[in-house]
Amino acid sequence: MSDTVAVVGTDTGVGKTAVAAAITDWFRERGTDARAIKPAQTGHPPDDDAAFVADACGTDDAAICLRYLEEPLAPRVAGERADEPLEYEALLEDCRRERERAPVSVLEGIGGVRVPLAGDREVLDLVADLAATAVVVARSGLGTLNHTALTVAALERRGVDVLGIVCNEYEGASVAERTNPAELERLTGRPVETVPSLSASNPGTLATGVREALSPAFYARLADRE
C-alpha cells in the first residue's frame, strides 16, 4: 500500500498547494514516484491545484484531481448547489485507488481540516480514513496560534500523526511572527518550519523556493514515509 502524506491547512489560501508541490517534487527528484491527489477542487475555473503541482513537477503524472466544482465554496456545499452532490465513500475509494498507483501519495486538503467534504464527512475524515501522516500549513502572523493548535488537536484526536507545521510567508516583521514558531512548538509539541514570502513567476520556481526553505530535518522525517 502507498504511504500517504496529507498537506492540510488551518484555512484556505495559506499555501497548501505550494507545499504539496514542493513535497511531491522532492520525492520525485530523489527517485520516488510520488503523486499528488486533490480530492475535490472548488472554484474551478480558474483554480486548479493539481495542475499547479503537475506544472511545478514538469509532468502531468505528478498530480490528479478527482472532482471539479465551479463555485468557490466548501465541496459539500458547492456540490449540492450544482446538483452534483459528492458521495464520501465513492471519493474515499477513488483516493485509495489512485494512491495505489504510486509508492508515495501527497493528499492536498481543501481549506481547513473541518471543511465539509461530502455528506456529513469533513476533510479531517478523509485524512484519518486514509491513515495519512499530516503536514499542517499555517499563516505566520497574528492569530495563527489558535487556528494551528486547534488544527493539530483535531488531527491528533482522530489518530493522525502530525509530521510538522509549516508557517508560510514568514517575514519576521512583527513580534507575533518572530515568536509564533517557538510558541507553536510549545503548544503542539510538533516541529515548526518557516517558509519566507516568495515572489515567483511560475509554479516550478515557487515550489523550488519552498523546497529549499524547508530544513534537512523536515526531509529526514519525510524520508521515513517512503
Does residue 119 have a known ligand-binding role?
Answer: no
User: What's the pLDDT band for 1 if we cut at 50, 70, 90?
Assistant: very low
33 grid coordinates: 514516484
Q: Give the pLDDT confidence of 200-211 residue by residue, as tens digits.
A: 779 999 999 999
Does residue 110 have a known ligand-binding role?
Answer: yes
Does residue 49 have a known ligand-binding role?
Answer: yes
pLDDT at 200: 73
| Domain count for the chain | 1
Residue in 35, 38, 121, 211 annotated catalytic: 38
Angstrom distance (rounded) from CA 16 to CA 8: 6
What is the full DSSP assignment across 147-175? Answer: HHHHHHHHHHHTT--EEEEEEEEE---SH
- Phi, then psi, of 59 in degrees rounded to 5: -160, 140
CATH of the domain at 141: 3.40.50.300
Q: What's the whole-number mean pLDDT along residues 153-168?
A: 98
Does residue 208 have a known ligand-binding role?
Answer: no
- Which residue segment(s) compose the domain that 65 sits in? 3-223
Q: What is the value of pTM for the model shown?
A: 0.97
User: Which alpha helices (DSSP H) does 11-143 contain, by range?
Assistant: 16-29, 49-57, 75-81, 88-99, 123-129
Whether 38 is catalytic is yes
Q: What's the whole-number mean pLDDT along residues 103-113?
A: 97
